[in-house]
Amino acid sequence: MEISAAVQHFIHSHVVARLATAGDDRQPHVIPFCYAFDGMSFYFVVDEKPKRQTGKPLKRIRNMLENPQVALVIDDYADDWSQLAYVMVRGEAAVVEDEEEYQRALGLLRDRYQQYHSMTLTFPHNAMIRITPRKVNAWGKIGESAGE
């Protein structure tokens, strides 16, 4: 899927997105997450940040395994509403099963987030998720692609 340079710049200039998933129960689940984008796919890893310990996989992972359709939003808010902007991506999530792709995505994440340099993140212990965009909507102050 082709994503304009202005939208890619917006994606790369932000460090947190919100991810929406829903499992078989159809209940929405939204979380903030750190991501890398390689121009074609978004990646995130189940890292060492503190998480609630329940003894079962994270809700977002369970949901993705039950229903791989996801959405993510990257946004700008400002009191001056003429500056508002967002990029919304609808796509399909999958666990990265290829170690070479995993290492490449981990390198992208480490380039963006210094905190990942001190974490021991290994394949396949720390699941890496790939989100392949199927539809991208951009709105607001995105640059020359506003309203794309």
> Per-domain residue ranges for the chain?
5-140
**How many Å apart are CA 31 and CA 124, to the nearest integer?**
23
Q: Please tell me the predicted confidence (pLDDT) of residue 122.
A: 85
Q: Quick one: fold of 5-140?
A: Pnp Oxidase; Chain A (2.30.110)
**How many Å apart are CA 122 and CA 129, to the nearest integer?**
13
The predicted-structure confidence for 62-112, as pLDDT tens digits, reads as follows 899 899 999 999 999 999 999 999 999 999 999 999 999 999 999 999 999
Say whether pTM exceeds 0.95. no
The 85-95 sheet, strands edge to edge:
28-33, 17-22, 69-76, 85-95, 128-140, 42-45, 36-37
pLDDT band at 52 (very low <50, low <70, confident <90, very high): low
